[in-house]
Structure 1
Amino acid sequence: MKITIGSFILQQLHAAKVAHIYGVPGDYNLALLEMIEHDPQVNFIGNCNELNAAYAADGYARLNGIGALIVTYGVGDLAALSGIAGAYAESAAVICIAGSPPLHAMKSHALLHHTLADGNFDNVMNCFKQFTVAQALITPENAATEIPRLITCAWQQKKPVYLQLPADLCDVEIDVPDKLSQPRLPSSDKNNLELAATALLTRINQSKQPVILVDQMVERYQLQQLVIEVAQKFAIPLANMPTAKCVLPENTPGWQGGYNGDLSRPELFALMAESDCVLSFGVRLVDSTTGYFSQQFATSAVVDIQPYSLKLENIAYPAVTAADLLQTLLDKAKNTLPTTLTPLPHSEYKLATPDNSLLEHANFWQRMNRFIQPDDVLVVENGTSGAAIGAMRMPEGVTVVNQPIWGSIGYTLPALLGAMMASPERRHLLFIGDGSFQLTAQELSTLLRCGQKPIIFLINNGGYTIERYILGESSSYNDISPWNYAKLAAVLNPQVESFCVAVETSQQLELALEQASRQHSLVFIEVKLPAMDTPPAMIAFCNRCNNFNFGLHNPRRSV
């Protein structure tokens, strides 16, 4: 059938269940934005800048499975590049569409604005090749094949892709198949699958102390239920990397907690060290998620399960999807072992009676642990918030959106916007530090403009606390300007009602939480905490970061 290239892009996005596209208008992308303006199935959400748009698309992808943004060439797509790199590091399927100069101008190497004025149109594409799994400059000849290819690559690999759409091609008609195809995951090779499942079953049956360790991959490919069924069938305890917080429900029988090297629970650390069979689901041993490489388990014990392959005892089994592998393993294991798995006991603690004493991290996060409800979405910034949430036991159905590997501060406020639009039926809580907030604060105005109603906790501890603990506790480079955070919502959108308050005592916090639960508007609670008060886990992490980064020339040695 005949269809314009712009309409075909929107059709393909809709087939992938993308209903919201984030971005910033620019002259090269206006033709496509005009199409979206009149498309009832896709909504454009204008952001305050392109980096925020990339973060929002990432947050949307975390809850929806795939997200998209539209920017303009050069000044726009390069401004979004850090957000695209973050989506790559954290395995979020994001489609970055850049409206580019007209195709005839690119082919003739014209000297244009938003370029380096040297006639080179390869440099931006070369940048994106380093941070995406697929790229294409759309032409009338390749549009029918390249547009579905890019979307399918993002869907299959859970990574970002990059598409350049020349400004003069949006209304060009092309021939495409009559039947609309949705992106699908590849299937397994039947013979390889049989061999892999048999080998895995043998390895599990021969092991004396197996353990399951999961990373982001399990959530991205929706393997949670299959992993839990395998654990129950073979009575195997489970743990998750910090990057997979709440991927496994934390009341699951056999769940042993989060594994972070020797910063883990001592019992879990010992369990991993003694295991002779570690079923590793996409695990990446990164400094920030292993207590700076303090993990301890035998390399020979690792069974490496990836989305489309298995590696076991130095034998690789390609073309085997993890979902097929686990289902075949379950089918082969006819005899169910008597389960010995029990839920991890909850820590018992009693909340102190609210009074006029100043808040500290310990009592604030204890109260948050009671405030968080089943099925909440927690968007958690790196730093004190990330350290605290990582150590807390979460109720059933909670989803955590964070960025512990790429670690770009300010990510969470725009990501909250995307997450809320992907799952509007759920309650969303944002925990963000004052330093992080100042990087992307203007996106609060977009949340208000779009009628979003999250509960935002701004942790105000007077600057970059995580950096103060790494180096420069009293150095000026870790200071930031003091803002009146609780009044920002009224400044950024005076036409929208919101509930904003600053608290610094447990009694004030209790009153604010009670009022927040009754609101039908955006809630913004500024929580004032001491500058060097922080969860213990963060202090341990920062000390290791200091030693790793600076070594023998550590500036602390001269203090």
Structure 2
Amino acid sequence: MYTVGDYLLDVVHALGTDKVFGVPGDYNLQFLDHITARNDMKWIGDANELNAAYLTDGYARKNGFGALVTTFGVGELSALNGLAGAMSEHVPVLEIVGSPRTNVQKDQQLVHHTSGDGDFLKFEEAHKALGFDVYHLTKENAIDQIDSMVRTLVATKKPAYVVLPLDLGDVSVNPALKDKIAELTQPVKQDVSTSLLAEIGKYLSQAAQPLVLVGHEVARFGLENEVQKLITDHDLPFIDNGLSKGTLSEDLSQFAGTYNGELSPDTTKRVVDQADVVLLLGAKITDSVSGSFTQSFTDNQIIAINANVTSVFGRKTRVDFRSLIEELAKFNFTTAARPSFKTVQPRTLPTASDHLLTQEFYDQAVEASLQPGQTLLAEQGTSYFGLTTQPLPKDAKFIGQPLWGSIGYTFPAALGSQIADPLSRNVLSIGEGSLQMTLQEFGLAFRENLHSLILLIENDGYTVERYIHGMDQSYNNVPAFDYDQVPRLFGASDDQAVVLNARTENELLVTLKKAQEMTDKLVLVRVHMAQKDAPEVLEKMVKM
């Protein structure tokens, strides 16, 4: 028998994932049976729903789409912070919530995982208030609602939220519905005005110093190849920012650095300051990626193409983002010949001594030890502020969360990204305060036999918060854990993990080299630093 649950999972698979994350609960258990019964899909259970949302977000950033399942009320609200981060940073994640039976909701019965008031819609309303498209399935509308969800998710690449009552997953539907899924999951090509293309081409052609800011929405829509073609065909200098770092390979000759307003490296800042036309492709200008809004370009220099609106020097119009980027990449226009430049210096290992580690040395060493094609994740703390300014090697990716900024996010996200791309090692830099939020997922890491490299900065507390306020206040302290015990505590076998320590510059370089060579196991490196050491960028930012 082919059911609503089967159809929903066929759609999820067609959207691009063969993994589903989450936590079991009595309102979703029967639906989980549909997942585990399949030979083309794997259930990956998490320690809690918040971690599951983080992990699915990281998986979706690498894979292009991710899905998780939670239970009603307690489960979905636990996941909501993680889902809100996916909404904030435009990550295509689908949450499927198992809810009480249809008759229970209709009769407003006072059942568990509710507020005891018979209101079964308040959690849906909470998601709506955060911008989620909500799809509440019933026997009458289930297929239409699923189809609508798919069309919207494909078109917008934003998170979606589906409520599946306990009794609905096993309702029989026509197996012929499967025949339309492939077409349903394809983006709809829309016409793009040739006059708009010509106008953009004209301004780029006439510009003496054109510049492209590659934003995070480019990666969300899978348009990296089109944007790279646009840049290389016309030899356009480009920058990225903390939201989009690594979207295009930073070893391209046109790359001028990662921009962060007045906090940018001087060579990058000079290129941006001289630009007379700036083409923003899927980029958002937020405080954490613009040096607290100190970017040097203004509306009268900007052509901005975003997922929701296109603006030409302040004049706004609505055009399909994907279609416009695809057509612009093919559009024939000329740009003035410009002398070649190279603002980003080659990556080299810093000269080491037996001095105690500093944040500056650490940042340089981590980036220089990163291998082509690897993914670097930086937690929203000293890791993020110190590592975003460093150049990445060829085809390396970067994941951070500078807009939503939920501490603890990157550890589960690193595991999700690693699961999505098991052949490319993920390297995570995270502080102990953040890791303590979500370290339960070491259990998942060892169960799934993941071989990530985790660099744990131990500096006795929340350094970012110390610099913002309360340098010596006890509320910025964190407990001291014995991280040497992590593998044993979370069930790793002797050959699955190793813990290393680095306290000096020389020790760090030796340890990083050794860790990169240990590709057959998870490596946790304890990096010991002074409590009040911080990246120069962070110190400058808090004074703005």
Q: TM-score when scaled to structure 2?
A: 0.94
Stretch deviating more after TM superposition (173-182 or 481-490): 173-182
| Alignment-mate amino acid for residue 38 of structure 2 | D
Q: C-alpha separation between the residues in 2 aligned to 1:271 and 1:348?
A: 20
Question: Aligned equivalents of 1:232 and 1:144: distance in 2?
Answer: 44
Partner residue in 2 for 1:53? 52
C-alpha distance in 2 between matches for 1:209 and 1:506: 41
Asked if the contact 2:206–2:335 (Cα under 8 Å) also holds between the matched residues in 1, the reply is no
Q: Aligned to 1:392, what secondary structure does the other structure show?
A: coil
2:477 maps to 1:475: no
Per mean C-alpha deviation after superposition, the further-off stretch among 469-478 and 29-38 is: 29-38
Matched, 1:223 2:223: yes
Residues 513 and 303 from structure 1, CA distance in 2 versus in 1: closer, same or farther, beyond 3 angstroms? closer
Note the aligned Cα RMSD (angstroms).
2.1
- Cα deviation digits, residues 377-432 of structure 1 (max 9, x gap): 11211111111211111100101111110000000111112111111111111111
Using the alignment, how far apart are the partners of 1:158 and 1:39 within structure 2? 26
**1:460 maps to which residue?**
458
CA distance in 1, matches of 2:499, 2:388: 26
- Looking at structure 2, the residues matched to 504 and 268 of structure 1 have their Cα atoms a distance apart, in angstroms, of 32
Q: Distance in 2 between matches of 1:9 and 1:348?
A: 47
1:260 is displaced (CA, Å) by 1.1
Q: What's the counterpart of residue 295 of structure 1?
A: 295
Q: Which residue of 1 aligns with 2:396?
A: 398
- Structure 1 residues 24 and 374: alpha-carbon distance in aligned structure 2, compared to 1, 3 A threshold: same
How far 1:262 sits from its partner (Å)? 1.1
**Cα shift readout 1:14-68 (whole Å, capped 9, x = no counterpart):** 1112111111110000001112121111111111100000001101100110001
C-alpha separation between the residues in 1 aligned to 2:324 and 2:89? 24
Give the partner amino acid of 1:7. Answer: D
Unaligned runs of 5+ in 2: none
Which runs of 5 or more structure 1 residues have no equivalent in the other structure?
545-559
Q: Corresponding residue for 1:151?
A: 150
1:94-173 alignment runs, 5 A limit: 94-173=93-172
- Separation of aligned partners in 1, 2:266 and 2:518: 41
Equivalences for 1:80-479 in 2 at 5 Å?
A: 80-175=79-174, 177-182=177-182, 183-189=185-191, 192-307=192-307, 309-328=309-328, 330-333=330-333, 338=337, 340-346=339-345, 351-355=350-354, 357-479=355-477
Q: What is the rounded CA distance, in whole Å, between the counterparts of 1:321 and 1:542 in structure 2? A: 35
Flag the 1:82–1:505 CA change in 2: closer, same or farther, 3 A.
Answer: same
The structure-2 alpha-carbon separation of the partners of 1:352 and 1:267, relative to structure 1 and needing over 3 Å to count, comes to closer
Aligned-residue offset at 1:347: 5.3
Q: CA deviation at 1:5?
A: 0.9
**Structure 2 letter corresponding to 1:110:** Q
Q: For the residues of structure 1 that align with 2:306 and 2:188, how far apart are their CA atoms? A: 13
Task: Give the TM-score normalised by structure 1.
Answer: 0.92
- Greater mean alpha carbon deviation, residues 395-404 or residues 504-513: 504-513
Match of 1:555 in 2: none
The worse-fitting range, judged by mean Cα deviation, of 171-180 and 435-444 is 171-180
Q: How far off its partner does 1:284 sit?
A: 1.6
Q: Distance in 2 between matches of 1:325 and 1:64?
A: 21
- Residue 290 (structure 1) shift: 1.2
Equivalent residue letter for 1:380: A
The answer (yes or no) to whether the contact 1:354–1:510 under 8 Å persists in 2 is no
Distance in 1 of aligned mates of 2:89 and 2:260 = 17
Contact 2:239-2:259 within 8 A present in 1 as well: yes
Give, in whole Å, the separation in 1 of the partners of 2:265 and 2:505.
29
Tell me if the contact between 1:351 and 1:367 (Cα under 8 Å) persists in the aligned partners.
yes
Q: Distance in 1 between matches of 2:450 and 2:243?
A: 27
Query: Post-superposition shift, 1:153?
Result: 2.1
User: Which of 479, 485, 488 is the matching residue for 2:486?
Assistant: 488
**In 2, Cα distance between equivalents of 1:436 and 1:348:** 28
Output the CA distance in 1 between the equivalents of 2:519 and 2:539.
36
Query: 1:326 and 1:136 mapped to 2: Cα distance?
Result: 30
The alpha carbon displacement at 1:137 in A equals 1.0
Q: Residues of 2 paired with 1:60 and 1:519: CA distance? A: 20
Distance 1:100 1:425 in 2: 37
Aligned-partner SS, 2:367: helix
Aligned to 2:75: 76
| Native 8 Å contact 1:235 1:341 kept in 2 | no
Q: 1:281 to 1:468 in 2, by over 3 A?
A: same
After TM superposition, the structure 1 = structure 2 runs for residues 518-529 of structure 1, keeping only pairs within 5 Å, are 518-529=518-529
Could you give the per-residue CA deviations for residues 506-527 of structure 1, whole angstroms, max 9, x where no partner exists? 3433443343213521111111
Look up the match of 1:548: none
- Asked if structure 1 preserves the Cα contact closer than 8 Å seen for 2:450 and 2:522, the reply is yes
